[in-house]
Amino acid sequence: MSNHDHIASHDAHEHGEGMDKKRIWSVFFVLLALTALEFLIALGFVHHWGILQKGTLVNIIYIVLTLVKAFYIVAFFMHLKFEKSSFIVCCSIVFLFIIYFIVLMLIEGGHLHESMTHQPLFPHK
């Protein structure tokens, strides 16, 4: 129990340095601004003014903005940025498997799409 308390108090000290109220609100405004930007693109540029077309480019912009938001939530709100580097690596390196999974499913989806649109069905009815 004493060991537990020691870690907790030490932790608390470090936390105080990591996230104060000012920083919390600045992270909030970054998240709000990124979300507002997504809305501006979706409702303004695509829906209303028609400057951009729905498609790969817009999707990539959305995904990049989403990942930036995810970074801010995990790094600051979940405090991962201020943990020991070995812990950061431990919790994030496994997502290489997810990237691999996405690549696999993109290839698979592309292949199935091709087959379903271009291969004829037998027997013909």
Cis peptide upstream of residue 123 (ω within 30 degrees of 0): yes
Written as six digits, the tokens of 84 are 């020991």
How is residue 93 written in tokens? 């390196």
Nearest to 77 by CA among 125, 32, 25: 25
Site for other proteins in 24-43 (CB under 8 A): 24-25, 28, 31-32, 35, 38-39, 42-43
Q: Is 89 in the site for other proteins (CB under 8 A)?
A: no
CB 52 within 8 A of CB 46: yes
- Residues 53-82 binding other proteins (CB under 8 A) are 59, 62-63, 65-66, 69-70, 73-74, 77-78
Which of 41, 59, 37, 62 lies closest to 50, judged by CA? 41
Question: Which residues lie near other proteins (CB under 8 A)?
Answer: 3-5, 7-12, 14-16, 19-21, 24-25, 28, 31-32, 35, 38-39, 42-43, 47, 59, 62-63, 65-66, 69-70, 73-74, 77-78, 83-84, 86-87, 91, 94-95, 97-98, 101-102, 105-106, 108-110, 112-113, 116-117
